[in-house]
């Protein structure tokens, strides 16, 4: 099975900061990676699909990129409403469609 290593596991940043979360796949998955945001007590929300495509309605402050098996979610100009846990998820070839361990983002 494909493993995803997400880092950091937690992150504290200030309003207005640029935040970066990374996700490393254990093998080549092409662009088959999504990013989700989950606020406390809520269902996850799709932010980015196919590594870098912004889901409709999601703020342009969110962006995704890929370099080989390394993927990055960037949040520019951090806002209080961005407080959440962020997950990457791969869907290369056949299941299981594994998720990363999550990154809990807090405001300083």
Partner 1 sequence: EVQLVESGGGLIQPGGSLRLSCAASGFSFRSYWMHWVRQAPGKGLEWVSHINSDGSIRRYADSVKGRFTISRDNAKNTLYLQVNSLRAEDTAVYYCAGPYSGTLGYWGQGTLVIVSS
Binding footprint of partner 1 on the chain (CB under 8 A): 32, 34, 36, 38, 42-46, 49-50, 55, 87, 89, 91-92, 94-102
Shortest separation between residue 15's beta carbon and partner 1, angstroms: 26
Shortest separation between residue 19's beta carbon and partner 1, angstroms: 19
Closest to partner 1 by CB, 17 or 22: 22
Burial letters for 41-60: b for 16+ Cβ neighbours within 10 Å, e otherwise?
Answer: eeebeebbbebbebeeeeee
Residue showing tokens 């959440």 = 84
Closest CA to 100 of 17, 29, 19: 29
Shortest separation between residue 45's beta carbon and partner 1, angstroms: 7
Closest to partner 1 by CB, 49 or 71: 49
Is 101:92 a contact under the CB 8 Å cutoff? no
Element (H, E) at 52: none
φ, ψ (nearest 5 deg) of residue 82: -85, -5
Shortest separation between residue 82's beta carbon and partner 1, angstroms: 19
Closest to partner 1 by CB, 34 or 69: 34
Closest to partner 1 by CB, 15 or 53: 53
């Amino acid at each position: 099975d494909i493993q995803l290593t997400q880092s950091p596991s937690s992150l504290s940043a200030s309003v207005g900061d640029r935040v970066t979360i990374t996700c490393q796949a254990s093998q080549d998955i092409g662009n088959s990676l999504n990013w989700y945001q989950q606020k406390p007590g809520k269902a996850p929300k799709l932010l980015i699909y196919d590594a870098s495509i912004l889901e409709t309605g999601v703020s342009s402050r969110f962006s995704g990129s890929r370099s080989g098996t390394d993927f990055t979610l960037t949040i520019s100009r951090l806002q209080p409403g961005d407080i959440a846990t962020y997950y990457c998820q791969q869907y290369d070839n056949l299941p299981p469609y594994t998720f990363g361990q999550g990154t809990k983002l807090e405001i300083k």
